[in-house]
Amino acid sequence: MQEGLFAQVNLPKVYRRRRLTNNFMLGLTGIALFLAIVPLIWIIVYVLIKGGHYINLDFFIHLPRPMGTQGGGVLHAIEGSFIMVIIASIFAIPPALLAAFYLVTYPNTLLSDTVRFSTDLLAGVPSIVIGLFGYAVIVVPQKHYSALAGGVVLALIMLPVVIRSAEEMLKLVPSELREGALALGAPEWKTALKVMLPAAAEGVLTGIMLSVARAAGETAPLLFTALGNDNFEIGRFIHYGIASHQSVINIIGQILSQPADALPLTLWKYAQQPYPERVKQAWAVALVLMLFVLTLNITARVWLAKRKSRIRR
């Protein structure tokens, strides 16, 4: 053999050179990973120390005190985030799922290509621009900032994430599953809801959770929509509403039309203030926010990873 193809080659030498290159390059990748882990641990540990220091029960159940005074909590931000994420989910999830179904049912039409491009675009549009849009189409006509406006822009943030992840997961469902149901005489909608959705359920749910996490961590779009409201407290509205015999719808309307606050918004504001107390609170908010987002994220990712490997088989 040696006299054939490899006559012109000093095999041992070539082998040695190749082995060295291999070891060197593979070594570099390990170093890169190490360097990337450093800031993460740094951030987490730092936030834990700074914020963990401040966190207590009060922090969760009280409204902020006036600036410069001690104590107080971020109940307004927690409730605001909660309300807005719920609004966003209500607005975003049903149409997103339906659109995802459209994409897998008609994968190659002009409309589906357009939807896909629009979704990518929407996902790429900086969240601040979405905020501007919310400001223009809701805040300006309504003439006031509101939780509703915040919720709607968050819905815009969520939409592309849900659509694309749902489409991907539904696409992973073998087309034969769908055909199998249709071949039994099932109508499309039953096929979609009873066979495809359950088959992709975990993946779709994961996508939703990721989008919720994303929405919960967003600040920029809320700047000109929810604005912020140190006194946002649902309890008070409910209390007052019941006392004055208002209808449930009315009460909800009241809540939604108030400017609202959110955790990231609070963090952003507190961080800029000159009062050390507020800065300390900012770290605590950062911790709460991070814990919430990370938990949601990690659960979702774990779920997704499991799901993907299972469907692929």
Partner 1 sequence: MANLKAIKRRPRWYNKIGYWLQHGDRIWKALLFLSSLLIVSLVVWIAWRLWYQSTLSRHQFGWAFISPWVPSSWNPALDKFQAWPSIYGSLITSVIALILAIPFSLGIAIFLAELAPAYARPPLNYMIEMLAAVPSVVYGLWGIYVFLPLIVVPIGEVIAKTAGQIPGLTTFFGGPMPVSGLSRFGAALILTIMITPTITAVSRDVLLAIPQSQREASLALGATQWETIWNVLIPYGLSGILGAVILGFGRAIGETMAVTMVIGNTTGGGYSILKPGYTMASIIANEFAEAVSDLHASALIEIGVVLFVTTLLLNAIARWLVWNVNHRTMGR
Partner 2 sequence: MQNTLPIKMEIQELSVFYKSFRALNKVTMPVYEHKVTAIIGPSGCGKSTLLRSLNRMTDLVPGALIEGKVLLDGEDIYDPKKDVVDVRRRVGMVFQHPNPFPMSIYDNVAFGPRLYGLKKRAFLDELVEKSLRSAALWDEVKDKLHQSGMALSGGQQQRLCIARAIAIEPEVILMDEPASALDPVATLRIEELIFQLKERFSIVIVTHNMQQAARVSDYTTFLLMNEERAGELIEFNVTTTLFTRPKDKRTEDYITGRFG
Residues between 183 and 202 that touch partner 2 (CB under 8 A) = 183-187, 190, 194-195, 198-199
CB of 12 to partner 2, least distance (A): 9
Q: What is the DSSP letter of 139?
A: I
The rounded distance, in Å, linking the Cα atoms of 63 and 232 is 8
DSSP 38: H
* Residue 224 binds partner 1 (CB under 8 A): yes
Q: Does 232 bind partner 1 (CB under 8 A)?
A: no
Distance of CA 56 to the CA centre of its chain: 26
The one of partner 2, partner 1, none whose footprint includes residue 298, by CB under 5 to 8 A per kind, is partner 1
**What does 135 interact with, of partner 2, partner 1, none (CB < 5 to 8 A by kind)?**
partner 1
Q: Contact between 179 and partner 2 (CB under 8 A)?
A: yes
Q: Answer for the pair 222, 229: CB distance below 8 angstroms, yes or no.
A: no
Q: Which of residues 249-288 bind partner 1 (CB under 8 A)?
A: 264, 267-268, 271, 282-283, 286
Q: Interaction with partner 1 in 197-216: which residues (CB under 8 A)?
A: 213, 216
Range 65-97 burial, b when 16+ CB lie within 10 A, else e: eeeeeeebbbbbbbbbbebbbebbbebbbeebb
CA distances from 266 to 133, 210, 217, 273, 282 (A): 22, 22, 11, 11, 7
Q: Is 176 in the site for partner 2 (CB under 8 A)?
A: yes
| Residue 129 touches which member of partner 1, partner 2, none, C-beta under 5-8 Å by kind | partner 1
Strand partners, 64: 72
Which of 63, 86, 177, 238 binds partner 2 (CB under 8 A)? It is 177
Q: At what angle do helices 197-217 and 276-312 cross, to 10 degrees?
A: 160
Structure-token pair, residue 111: 């409309």
Instruction: Work out whether 18 is an interface residue with partner 2 (CB under 8 A).
Output: yes
Question: Does 298 participate in binding partner 1 (rule CB under 8 A)?
Answer: yes
Binding flags for partner 2, 88-127, as an x/- string (CB under 8 A): ------------------x-xx------------------
* Total site size for partner 2, rule CB under 8 A: 30
CA dist., res. 83 & res. 62, Å (int): 17
**135 DSSP assignment:** I
Summarize as ranges the residues that interact with partner 2 (CB under 8 A).
1, 4-6, 8-9, 11, 14-15, 18, 106, 108-109, 174, 176-177, 179-187, 190, 194-195, 198-199
